[in-house]
Amino acid sequence: MIPVPSFACGEWHTSTKKVRQVANASTDEVLYSVSSEGLSFAEMLNWGRARGGPALRAMTFHERARMIKALAQYLNENKKELYRLSTISGASKRDAWIDVDGGIGTFFTYASKGRRELPDTHFLTEGNMEHLSKGNTFVGQHICVPLEGVALHINAFNFPCWGMLEKLAPTFLAGMPAIVKPATSTCYITQACVKLMIDSKLLPEGALQLVCGSTGDIFEHLDCQDIVTFTGSKDTAMSLRSHPRLLENSIRFNQETDSLNCSILAADVKASSPEFDLFVKEIEREMTVKAGQKCTVIRRAIVPDKLKQKVIDAVRARLGKVTIGNPENEEVTMGPLVSLAQRDDVLKQIERLSACTQKVCGDGEVAAVGVDKGQGAFLAPTLLHCEDPLNSPDVHSIEAFGPVCTIMGYGATSEAIEIARAGGGSLVASVFSGDHAVARQLSLGLAPFHGRILLADDFCAKESTGHGSPLPHLVHGGPGRAGGGEELGGVRAVFHYMQRTALQGSPQRLSQTCGKWLPGAEYLEDSIHPFRKYFDEIRIGESLLSHRRTITETDVVNFAGLSGDHFYAHVDDIAAKESLFGARVAHGYLVLAIAAGLFVDPAPGPVLANYGLENLRFTKPVYIGDTLAVRLTCQEKTPKDLEPQGVISWYVEVINQVQEAVATYSILTLVERKTEQNTG
């Protein structure tokens, strides 16, 4: 047997005590031994807090994002071994692609989002400044800083790569180290993935540790700065989250548990509709990918009574074409379950479900390709039928975590919603419909009980990733039985690993603390126009007050002719007098155009381009005869990676002759950075 090592305090560790054996899922050959005996979990946590945490927090969001991207590239170049090991677990090439490439893709996504959606700072200024006093001398601002503990990620067996990587991506981006604890039955794949990341030398020391085997007394050493995430069974989650140490220290616990997800064939669909075929294909795919061992698998297929038999026949026909066997064989489309123990548990749950269902298909011995008779944890896809789902509570609470799905019929759409909600909260539901109104009714009825809803139709079918594929851009989680937690969801997941704190004080004090100019803070003025300065020379808070410009009737008439905007409030004197304005007003975009003319320095210089405009608000009407000026202030600076340029966010306030703001917004300019070549 090959021992699967843990990685603790910078060293690989194995033990021959209290080992658990792990076998090839197809051949039953025992290959690996797993044990965490001898590890000091207190030392591991302290190592992460003392080494990994400070090193990650010393990096900015953008530096962490670049690190994650480099890790993704390294894994992508060295993933062949992960595919080989996945075969041992019973995963086909298609299954391994979802796990391995899906996990690497999540790293790439978070690397991109980190650089595009987060600032190049060590902490995050969140949201707008809050005005807390009439005179604007006392304000508030939320900031988010990395927690200074360790994230303990306890993962399930079904996705040994993706399950880890989808948690590590936001953890690292937030600036927090991690200890990963994979399920024993597939930990050898996780260990190989961790080894690649350690060997890459891209991670700071202490940023990543691995426990293969029992977690021992690690929970006894957690504190309020640590986080625990868990993916797995509901019963295990309840045991972990109620640990006294977690309760005493209010330690964050993010839970994602298996749920009885459903897919609904809407009442508008006919047997000849493309959505019917899409639904049937999705049921078959969900039952056979990873041998049905996914937390998002369709466990309950809810179909109109009138189409129930047609669906049963169609799904049964597709399942009859599935080739089961050792995934090393190219002909195989579905491998075994991960272990004999897992197969036995699924069979036990099928037996429990037999009290309220009838078996449609799945009888008989599995003739597995590429293995001797009786070898492996193989199980034929099993389709069940529940005649009375609203009066069969077990079908909504018993889960067979394998290639098992139950067909159940409904009459009215409201009944389909009631059946779906009987699952008590799920990770995902899917709706197959060709009617927008029906899809909307189902969506709103399902939403309170589901973390994600796929609205499938013929239009999106070619590009849809399907019912069971969580995407890094969207939240993965669900209420109730699904655990009540959230993973992924773009940068939302990053906030799980940060502390949100409300700062209160003067605008100037908060600006200095946050490293971002806030309205009401001091202005830094210079005789040199800010557009004549390089990126490096501009200071946060540097400001320009422009000369003034009076709006004339000619301006308004000419702009109406140029733009084609002849809205009555601009060009119809009588209608304008009867409107809420009481007189003709200037176009909002005319105000913007004139403002640009007031603050722009026209000669060639370091400013390369206008990069965008954000948060525009027209706060007061501008009348013919009003005189405008502009206050332009440097709010934030973000250098661009590997380019001699940077983006500056300018806060723009357009004010009238009585010092009232008529418009506020931010503009982004691409500005050249100072180099030896352009300094003369």
315-324 pLDDT, tens digit each: 999 998 999 9
Whether residue 555 contacts residue 586, with contact meaning beta carbons closer than 8 Å, is answered with yes
* Number of separate domains in the chain: 3
pLDDT at 330: 86
Examine the pLDDT at 674 and tell me if it is beyond 90.
Answer: no
Rounded to whole angstroms, the Cα distance separating 636 from 638 reads 7
Asked if residue 270 and residue 140 are part of one domain, the reply reads: no
* pLDDT range class, residue 623, cuts 50, 70, 90: very high
Rounded to whole angstroms, the Cα distance separating 679 from 672 reads 11
For 435-479, give the DSSP string: -HHHHHHHHHHHGGGEEEEEEE-TTTTTT---TT---TTSEEE-S
Mean pLDDT of the 531-546 span:
91
Asked if residue 551 and residue 443 are part of one domain, the reply reads: no
The active-site residue out of 144, 193, 262, 295 is 295
Asked if residue 265 and residue 252 are part of one domain, the reply reads: no
* pLDDT range class, residue 679, cuts 50, 70, 90: very low
Structure tokens, 375? 């070898």
Structure tokens, 572? 């119809």
pLDDT at 260: 92
Examine the pLDDT at 449 and tell me if it is beyond 70.
Answer: yes
- Residue 54's identity, in one-letter code, is P
Q: What is the pTM of this model?
A: 0.88
Kindly state whether residue 516 falls inside one of the protein's structural domains. Answer: no
Kindly state whether residue 559 falls inside one of the protein's structural domains. Answer: yes
Asked if residue 267 and residue 232 are part of one domain, the reply reads: no
* pLDDT range class, residue 461, cuts 50, 70, 90: confident
80-134 pLDDT, tens digit each: 999 999 999 999 888 998 899 999 999 999 999 998 889 888 998 988 888 989 8
553-579 pLDDT, tens digit each: 999 999 999 999 999 999 899 998 999
Whether residue 404 contacts residue 292, with contact meaning beta carbons closer than 8 Å, is answered with yes
Whether residue 190 contacts residue 208, with contact meaning beta carbons closer than 8 Å, is answered with no
392-436 pLDDT, tens digit each: 999 999 999 999 999 999 999 999 999 999 999 999 999 999 999
Asked if residue 423 and residue 572 are part of one domain, the reply reads: no
The active-site residue out of 144, 187, 193, 256 is 256
How many residues are there in the chain? Answer: 680
Asked if residue 660 and residue 553 are part of one domain, the reply reads: yes
What is the percentage of the chain residues whose pLDDT exceeds 90? 66
**Angle subtended at Cα 598 by Cα 596 and Cα 601, rounded to the nearest 5 degrees:** 80
Rounded to whole angstroms, the Cα distance separating 51 from 151 reads 14
Active site residue 634: no
Kindly state whether residue 663 falls inside one of the protein's structural domains. Answer: yes
Rounded to whole angstroms, the Cα distance separating 388 from 355 reads 12
Q: Whose CA is closest to 103, among 229, 215, 194?
A: 194
Place of tokens 């595919």: 83
643: left (phi over 0), alpha (psi -120 to 50) or beta: beta
Structure tokens, 238? 């309840």
Examine the pLDDT at 665 and tell me if it is beyond 70.
Answer: yes
**Angle subtended at Cα 520 by Cα 518 and Cα 521, rounded to the nearest 5 degrees:** 65
Count of other CB atoms within 10 angstroms of residue 224: 13
pLDDT at 156: 85
Instruction: Determine which helix (DSSP H) or strand (DSSP E) holds 115, and give its type and residue range.
Output: helix 102-117
Classify residue 605 by burial, with Cβ atoms within 10 Å: 0-12, 13-18, 19+. Answer: middle
Rounded to whole angstroms, the Cα distance separating 148 from 155 reads 22
pLDDT at 352: 93
What residues make up the domain containing 333?
Answer: 261-470
Examine the pLDDT at 675 and tell me if it is beyond 80.
Answer: no
323-365 pLDDT, tens digit each: 999 998 888 999 999 999 999 999 999 999 999 999 998 876 7
pLDDT at 364: 64
29-82 pLDDT, tens digit each: 899 999 988 999 999 999 999 999 999 999 999 999 999 999 999 999 999 999
What are the residues whose beta carbons fall under 8 Å from the beta carbon of 669, sequence distance 6 or more?
531, 607, 608, 609, 610, 611, 647, 648, 650
The CATH number of residue 327's host domain is 3.40.309.10
Examine the pLDDT at 659 and tell me if it is beyond 90.
Answer: yes
205: left (phi over 0), alpha (psi -120 to 50) or beta: beta
Active site residue 256: yes
Asked if residue 529 and residue 402 are part of one domain, the reply reads: no
Structure tokens, 339? 């272990």
Asked if residue 248 and residue 332 are part of one domain, the reply reads: no
* pLDDT range class, residue 617, cuts 50, 70, 90: very high
Kindly state whether residue 6 falls inside one of the protein's structural domains. Answer: no
**Mean pLDDT over all residues of the chain?**
91
142 SS3 class:
strand
pLDDT at 680: 43
Asked if residue 57 and residue 133 are part of one domain, the reply reads: yes
Asked if residue 338 and residue 212 are part of one domain, the reply reads: no
What are the residues whose beta carbons fall under 8 Å from the beta carbon of 77, sequence distance 6 or more?
none
Cα-trace Rg, the chain: 30
Q: Helix, strand, coil proportions of the chain in percent (round to 5)?
A: 35, 25, 35
Whether residue 403 contacts residue 419, with contact meaning beta carbons closer than 8 Å, is answered with no
pLDDT at 139: 92
DSSP state of 447: G
270-304 pLDDT, tens digit each: 999 999 999 999 999 999 999 999 889 999 999 99
Asked if residue 275 and residue 238 are part of one domain, the reply reads: no
Kindly state whether residue 9 falls inside one of the protein's structural domains. Answer: no
Kindly state whether residue 47 falls inside one of the protein's structural domains. Answer: yes
Whether residue 468 contacts residue 286, with contact meaning beta carbons closer than 8 Å, is answered with yes
What are the residues whose beta carbons fall under 8 Å from the beta carbon of 128, sequence distance 6 or more?
none
The CATH number of residue 589's host domain is 3.10.129.10
pLDDT at 515: 86
The CATH number of residue 72's host domain is 3.40.605.10
Asked if residue 541 and residue 442 are part of one domain, the reply reads: no
Q: How far from chain centre, in Å, is Cα 184?
A: 26
Mean pLDDT of the 478-505 span:
90
Structure tokens, 88? 């041992």
